[in-house]
Chains A and B, each alone.
Chain A
């Protein structure tokens, strides 16, 4: 790979590529910061433009756009409690809590720098180990994914909050919402009330926007006419404050990177599960687990690093086998083929310069992210100065447009409103939202992989541990549960409910 460096540099340092790259970075930042607009949509909009670009510029544009969009999704998450992606939903409570404490710039600074470091780590792994890792990822069939999802769901117990019983209720609400729509095994429509828009399930982004943002707006209505409770304490230097936080939690940073990259490589698992597992692991091993969900800097470091590390990971199976890890890489494969680059194990031998340039684009994207991101944070934090009677209706409008834009379906507004009221009622009664979101994200794959595994094994449960990797993952899941139960018994034996 190293031999290709000069060639790659020459390819990427052309005026066209540099201009395209900067343009794409700004575009990704903008799209990502708009609630509801996803990195996938940004990349899809690039496709017609890429007809007119050379391969390296086109791929640089995609890399820049995705990296910036995923980070920028943290901006509305922190400032307005509107997570742009399921990945940032893992830590939206913490980022927003910091904002309420007047430390919005610090929260976003942590997200930014952790993102950039995670991205660089993921890229380094991609460069060094891509073919080997892709080989490993290819051994994951439905059974292995089942155990991975089971592991992710077990984490729900760890993010449940102070009342485990109500945490379980939250998780069940999420799992129930996930069952709405056509059943995976038979196509039978469940709980759809005859509404065709619900056939493929409750659309995720509108549900998430509703559960976080609309619920938050409703909760704050009684105090809307009083002066802002959010005070803006301006940081001297975002970077210095962030640096201090990161130096305090080096273990979290490394752990987030490793978990993010490892899970990101598995096609279809990706950044979402990575962020949640990393967050839960962070909480489990933290000295102050009670802070998680209430503005924990540690949680931000863990999950923020993991989801960006996962982005580069998703490219591994895409480049080496043409298997998309998510919808962004599905478009990337199309672009590669259109530009005459064949994904395959020999992609590094056949196109060393071009693929090297893509790697360089990853590195540059994560470096450029810091200065552009800092400016964006400073500008966006000004949003908090807008008086609440004006800001609240505008946020509502943003939520509506964003929910609509994800599927271009007005029905998304209904989903958003219903979920908002539901989440508000849940929070009023002490039922946490985070496990519900996790339930919605993982409910579908959990059921799907369980059902298809049963079908593949002709109804035999032994099939679940019949493959080596599946057996190992099953053992890890079992260990997690032993640890949870042991912790419960040891900590407070009285409150364990039957």
Chain B
């Protein structure tokens, strides 16, 4: 790892840096970088983060340590990234919830409290039903809900979570009340899908990648994907537009960001490392294996995307009565 010489140099630099911060970007990074994940080990964000951290480590020549800071429904981890010193030694995974929590009044943090580095992935929502469901198409489902509003239940995350917004927005876009398929809160997509297969709920509008193993096992059917185009991993699943003509789309996202005020040179170095990591074969293989797409996005594009997403989510949450601010 550290040779004696680099250790000596690093110590000298750190001493100098203590006097004259910020550390010069040429030398950056001289010590391990902490990569904070606001969600638990084993989830999709954790998987993306551990994969990119291992690959960025090679680009940066310093360990990139993944640290799960769970708790507070994501507030604690997101705060930890925003509140860290903007020296490039603490970055983390900022997820779609950053555009939702502040509308709910859970935190004052918004994406403006971060320095965007790169988009890791988009996770498009799909509309999943059990294999033995009578609905063959999205139109069947919408017709059934229209005939019996409130009868069919949906699930896949907590109350007001991203997938709740997915179905509510979809229903609203076809002129139905957003709660026509009442939401049953669950711990996450996995337990929602379990309920779906066991017959406890009728619709799980979660990320289609999360349902992939059950789709392959023939237990779950995806009726549509909430994206403008079909996904390469699921070529047989139509888009919402194709199925019922609605323009509704929704994707959760996972990005790498640092605290606000990251020096431009350091932010650029991290962006390059992240984009290089996502251009490797290992990244592609790791994403394909779990049914995720590959959607890297540089910092500038990420900022624009996040801003739009924040506004759109706010509109849906207000319509649903979930926004408190």
Contacts and interface: CB of A to CB of B under 8 A. Distances in A.
Q: In the complex, are there CB atoms of A and B closer than 8 Å?
A: yes
A342 B186 contact: no
A452 B186 contact: yes
Interface string A162-199: 00000000000000000000101111000000001111
B71 interface: yes
Nearest to B290: A337
A403 to B, nearest CB: 13
A51 interface: yes
A411 B158 CA distance: 24
A140 B198 contact: yes
B73 interface: yes
A90 to B, nearest CB: 23
Contact of A196 (B66, B72, B285): B72
A200 interface: yes
B198 A407 contact: no
A340 B290 CA distance: 9
A434 interface: no
Given A48-B50, A186-B159, A338-B290, A452 B184 contact: yes
B73 A182 contact: yes
A319 to B, nearest CB: 10
Interface stretch (A151-159, A227-235, A324-332, A386-394): A324-332
Nearest to B212: A322
A196 B107 contact: yes
Contacts of B282: 51
Nearest to A329: B42
Interface residues of A, number: 56
Contacts of B216: 322, 342, 344
A41 B79 CA distance: 22
B191 interface: yes
A324 B190 contact: yes
Contacts of B22: none
B193 A330 contact: no
Given A142-B195, A268-B191, A187 B213 contact: no
A195 to B, nearest CB: 9
Interface in B97-144: 104, 106-107
B160 A187 contact: yes
A144 B198 CA distance: 10
A495 interface: no
Contacts, number: 153
Contacts of A282: none
Nearest to B107: A196
Contacts of A342: 213, 216
B41 A44 contact: yes
Contacts of A344: 213, 216-217
Interface in A317-352: 320-324, 327-328, 330-331, 333-334, 337-340, 342-345
Interface in A442-482: 448, 452, 455-456, 458, 467
Contact of B72 (A199, A323, A452): A199
A455 B153 contact: yes
A408 interface: yes
B70 A407 contact: yes
Given A48-B50, A141-B199, A196-B79, A327 B42 contact: yes
Given A184-B185, A330-B42, A409-B69, A321 B217 contact: yes
A41 B201 CA distance: 32
Contact of A452 (B40, B71, B185, B286): B185
Contact of B76 (A196, A322, A327, A328): A196
Most buried by A among B79, B213, B218: B213
A199 B106 CA distance: 9
B200 A322 contact: no
Contacts of A328: 42
B75 to A, nearest CB: 5
B31 interface: no
A338 B288 CA distance: 8
Given A44-B41, A199-B72, A408-B68, A322 B289 contact: no
Given A267-B194, A322-B214, A452-B185, A197 B72 contact: yes
Given A330-B42, A455-B153, A455-B182, A407 B159 contact: no
Contact of B289 (A340, A411, A456): A340
B32 interface: no
A448 B200 CA distance: 14
Given A44-B46, A141-B195, A321-B213, A409 B200 contact: no
Contacts of A142: 184, 195, 200
Contacts of A143: 200
Contacts of B286: 338
Contacts of B199: 139, 141, 467
B291 to A, nearest CB: 8
B76 to A, nearest CB: 6
Interface string A123-153: 0000000000000001111111000000000
B153 to A, nearest CB: 6
A344 B215 CA distance: 10
23 contacts: A44-B42, A51-B282, A138-B194, A138-B219, A141-B194, A141-B198, A185-B185, A187-B158, A198-B72, A199-B71, A199-B72, A199-B76, A200-B71, A200-B73, A322-B216, A323-B190, A323-B213, A331-B41, A334-B42, A342-B216, A344-B213, A408-B69, A452-B185
Given A322-B213, A327-B40, A448-B185, 10 more contacts: A143-B200, A182-B73, A196-B79, A321-B214, A322-B214, A333-B213, A337-B289, A337-B290, A339-B289, A407-B76
